[in-house]
Structure formats: C-alpha cells, structure tokens
Amino acid sequence: MKKIILSYSGGLDTSAIIPWLKENYPGAEIIAVSAHLGQDAELLGIEERAKNAGADKLYVEDIQNEFVEDFIWPTLKAGAKYEGYLLGTSMARPIIAKHLVEIAKKENADAICHGCTGKGNDQVRFELTIKALMPEIKIIAPWREWSIKSRDEEIDYAESHGVKLNITRETNYSKDMNLWHLSHEGMDLENPENEPNYQKDGFLEMTTSPENAPNGAEYITISFEKGIPTALNSEKMNGVALIKKLNKIGGTHGIGILDLVENRLVGMKSRGVYETPGGTILYHAHEILETLCLDKETSHYKALIAQKYAEIVYNGQWYTPLREALDAFVNKTQETLTGEVKLKLYKGNIIGAGVQSPHTLYSKDFASFGEEDVFNQADAAGFINIFGLPIKVKALLDKERGN
C-alpha cells in the first residue's frame, strides 16, 4: 500500500487509527480527509491534531452548501424520519464518502479507511457509497480487525502512541456533530432506565433543557418555495445560514431534543440522544404547509413514501435507483408547496400559529359552518347510504341467519 485515504474527524477513533495504520501498513502515506459539515468548533486545531497523530497530509473539505442542497433538502421534502430520528448522521455519511472517493481518485490511492465500529450503522453507509462510486478500491475498517475492544482501551492505545486527545474518560460520549444535529451515545445512556442529564454542564450543546428556556414565547415565520425553505422572518438567506439561525433560535427555546431507543440496521437496539433544533422546526413547518397544499390521496401516499425514504437514508442506500425514483415522486408533490408558516416557540414546544399559500386547497366557502351556497348538506345522506352499504348488507344478512 502506497496511499491510504482516512476519513478523519479529529476525534478519538480516527486519531487512534492513524498510528495503527502506520504500524500495520508500514511505508504507506496516510492522507486524512476532514469534511466540514458545520461542526465549526470541532475543526479548530484539526491540522495540528492530524499532524500530532501522524498523518502525512490533511484535506479539509467545506461541503456545507452541498450537504444542505443535495442531501438535507431532499430528505426534508420527503418528510423522511426514521422512528422519529431526523437522520442527521445518516445523511452526512454518503456525502463524506463521496468526497473520500474523489480524493482517492485524485491521489491515486490504494485504499479508503474509516473509523466506524462493527456494531454500528455508519460502516454500512460509508461502504455502500464507496461501492457505488469506486467499487474497485480496498476498504479498511480497523474496528473490525484490531484487538481493541472498548473506548477505554482505545484511549490507552492512543495515549501510548503519544496522540493528544481532546476528551476525558468522564466525558467520553460517542458524538457526531454537523450543521443539522448532534448525537450522543454511550456511557450512562446505554441504560435506557437512566434519564439523560440535560442539566449537566456541557451535555447539551446545540439546544438547552426546556426548564432553562425563556418564560416568554417567540414567533417566527418560515417561507418555502417548492418545498425548500428560503427565508426566515421575511429575510432571504441560503440554506446553511437559515439552518444555523434556526439552530440558535430553536436552541434558546429548548427545541429539538429526542431521546430514542432505535432499531439499528445491523439488528440490535441502541439508545441515543439527538439535538436537532433547526431541523425540528423546519420539519414541523413543512408538515403544516403540506396540510394546506396537498390533496388527501397524495398526502396519504406520500406518508408511505416518507417511511421508505427514511429507511433508504438510514440504511446507507443513498446512491441507488430507488432513492432517485422516490425523489422524482417527491419533487412532483412539492411543485405547489410554496407559502409561509408562522410558528410559536415555547419551552421545547413548536405550536402552529398560521399558514398561507397561493396554492392552498383550503376553501372557507366549503369548510364554513355558516350560511353557504356551495355545498348541499342534504347530499350527505346519499353519500352515507352508498358508503355504508357493505356494513348495512352484512348486518341484514347476519340478522336473517340469526347471528
């Protein structure tokens, strides 16, 4: 092996992997690749950390805009949630892997390495993307090969090789952060009987505990064009800026905390806490606008599509014909999804406060309980007779048979 591309976050796993690669692939050039997906603070000093760990070269790829436009917005438009989870890590892995492949081709590398465990979902997401975009390259997954069995052992290994870590054993949650969310796993969270310590200093980073949120509500208005958020409080802004602004506003009001025991792709249940303040607001607003602009049959069928779309994203199948086909369906449903949604934020709650659209399917004339000329209420009797005919026939036949 002459060159190995390493997906490098600067955290414990990928920092420990660099000396391991040096030991197991002597002479290979280790090229670290860090994807900037909005985890601003985590990237501070990353060049120094990569050099300290032994990397020969480091790429830092700012792909925030691509992440929003090509991954977050399609998933939002689909309304995709996996068991309530808004897919922050799931969406991030394919775009990271895509850029690993691009750099592997540029560097003429022999292998791509990732730091995912053999128990997790991320190994599947990385490797399915690599197989779709560069099927011939070798994949190295140290967690499936080395003798290290726990994060404590991993810390020992890193420290014995002189790798400086920015964590302690007491704060050693497994975390993943990007523009969209922050996830927490491990330690006390592994017991689902334990309530997450939201009040503990440093646990929540993107949002706050609802108990600590302001006592007054805040109103916001989000504008959409064809299903895509385009403005906040009438101020036009790009997707990255809009999500960051909503993260700050939502975080202040304790929005977007999810404590979830989920069914992993690999077959086990896992427990994690997710912080998604801006994303939770956007999903809520998008759902409200759809109630106004989608007809009944499309809305109900789209809910089925949303679940399948979520499974595809969660399972790492982004680069598949089915996901592309579902996008075509979703984009058709979003052609009239333009309008404004007003929301009230208060202590962890998002409360609808009004919605409008030039493509509304709501007609006050038809829906009103007041006097009107567009709906003859006497027509309902015939409708009920026809709709209820199977029920009536069964009841009559049952009576004849003495049932």
Sheet strands side by side (includes 269-275): 174-177, 182-185, 269-275, 257-263
**Cβ distance 77 to 227 under 8 Å?**
yes
Which residues sit opposite 258 in a β-bridge? 274
Rounded Cα–Cα distance for residues 229 and 239 (Å): 7
- Residue keyed to tokens 């007054």: 216
- Give rounded-to-5 percent helix, strand, coil for the chain: 45, 20, 35
**Phi, psi (rounded to 5 degrees) for 279:** -65, -40
Sheet strands side by side (includes 218-225): 235-236, 228-232, 218-225, 339-346, 349-356
Which residues are catalytically annotated? Answer: 13, 93, 122, 174
For 154-204, give the DSSP string: HHHHHHHTT---S--GGG--EEEE-SS-EEEESGGGGSTTSPP-TTSTTT-
Nearest to 1 by CA among 109, 143, 145: 109
